[in-house]
Amino acid sequence: MSGHLPRISYTKPSITELEVAYATDAAANGWGERCYDYIVRFEKDFAAHLGAGHAIATSSCTGAMHMGLAALGIGDGDEVILADTNWIATVAPIVHLGATPVFLDILPHSWCIDPADVERHITPKTRAIIATHIYGNLCDMDRLLDIGLRHGIPVIEDAAEAIGSVWKGRRAGSMGLFGTFSFHGTKTLTTGEGGMFVTSDAALYEKVLTLSNHGRARNQTKQFWPDEIGFKYKMSNIQAALGCGQMERIEALTARKREILASYAARLGSFDGISLNPQVPGTVNGAWMPTAVFDRGMGITRDILQQAFSDANIDARVFFHPLTSLPMFDDRRSNIHAWDIPERAINLPSYHDMTEDEIGRVTDVIVNLVASRTSAATDKPYLAKSA
């Protein structure tokens, strides 16, 4: 019926003349002596923004995680704890290193790893706890850091989705032993592809810096002389130039994300049974991906949502499947929430230049779905709370 309305994308970068000017300068002049200028500047700006000591620009968040885990010496026989609700990028490096991922359940309201489940699954083999701040929602860092401290196990933050998120005054990605970020084209800050490794631990920084340069230490005076096998996960100067432009606009980029989530909340907040990304007191949700979860009793399922949004020519995406439902891992249905929530949830569009009319088109789909489900029922628990 609304198939003739223009398509609403789910994410889309915001690239202005500033980013174009920097990238053009990098392409025209960023060679020879100047071939690292934008990279160095991007790393400095990013570390300063985060309040972290050091940052290393990478080709992806996956690469940053791979190098960080490798630098900790994680490998065969080691266990790494992470949430079952995650993108594949968080677990792939664990598998590549020969370690065993331990997939745990999430909390029903934050959709982030359940600290009590973490505590229960610590073994003598546990070498790291990965806290993924899903969709910009924050993990309970107080409890996770406390568990890590008591057991002598590092907490690592996958902050790929959490630029702009703040936990009690500290930015996501700056609280663990190290943090990783993604600048993929769908993320709040983008360089097309790209990532960042962040730490305030000087020794770990040196280790990863060497690993990131094919094992060549920066104080090695011999040419073409790696001291160990490393990685090649570098960011190019041209990508970093885009990143420098985006960094200058970071407050605007994250503020707009938060505005869009707030607009969804204002339009859907009166409905019982619909939960959006939580805004926990004392924290800031960077709101990378506004997501709606529907109470099971509403009967609004993933399939129904996908069909309704497709009919309205809106690109809404499914909530992450639990990693343990994928073919390469064993099912772990005891992760109740990680398995249950995706069946009744949907990611909503949230790109920078999205208009209020477009946000209205998205919420109309949901309002109509709720109305059609409740009119079929005898009791109407999901009608708007107030007239």
Ligand X SMILES: *Cc1c(COP(=O)(O)O)cnc(C)c1O
Identify the residue among 11, 62, 188, 210 touching ligand X (CB under 6 A). Answer: 62
Q: How far is the CB of 12 from ligand X (least distance, A)?
A: 15
Half-sphere exposure for 317 (CA within 13 Å, toward CB): 13
Go through the chain and tell me how many residues it has: 387
Q: How far is the CB of 129 from ligand X (least distance, A)?
A: 15
If one asks whether residue 130 binds ligand X (CB under 6 A), the answer comes out as: no
Task: Name, in order, each residue with C-beta under 8 angstroms of 355's C-beta and a sequence gap of 6 or more.
Answer: none
Q: How far is the CB of 225 from ligand X (least distance, A)?
A: 29
Q: Contact region for ligand X (CB under 6 A) — 57-65, 165-173, 258-266, 371-379? A: 57-65
Q: Contact region for ligand X (CB under 6 A) — 60-68, 109-117, 219-227, 247-255? A: 60-68
Question: Within 10 A of 312 (CB to CB), how many other CB atoms are there?
Answer: 19
Crossing angle between the packed helical segments 250-268 and 237-248, to the nearest 10 degrees: 60
DSSP 60: -
Q: Give the helix/strand (H/E) hosting 83.
A: strand 79-83
If one asks whether residue 60 binds ligand X (CB under 6 A), the answer comes out as: yes
Identify the residue among 47, 55, 156, 160 touching ligand X (CB under 6 A). Answer: 160
Q: Contact region for ligand X (CB under 6 A) — 55-63, 146-154, 203-211, 265-273? A: 55-63
Query: Rounded to 5 degrees, what are φ and ψ at 19?
Result: -60, -40
If one asks whether residue 158 binds ligand X (CB under 6 A), the answer comes out as: yes
Touching ligand X, residues 247-306 (CB under 6 A): none
Radius of gyration for the chain, computed over Cα atoms and rounded to the nearest angstrom: 22
Touching ligand X, residues 180-209 (CB under 6 A): 182, 184, 195
DSSP bridge pairs for 283: 167
Query: Rounded to 5 degrees, what are φ and ψ at 154?
Result: -65, 140
Q: How far is the CB of 158 from ligand X (least distance, A)?
A: 5
In angstroms, the CA 70 to CA 198 distance is 15
Q: Contact region for ligand X (CB under 6 A) — 82-90, 233-241, 248-256, 348-356? A: 82-90
Number of residues that bind ligand X (CB under 6 A): 13
DSSP bridge pairs for 54: 199
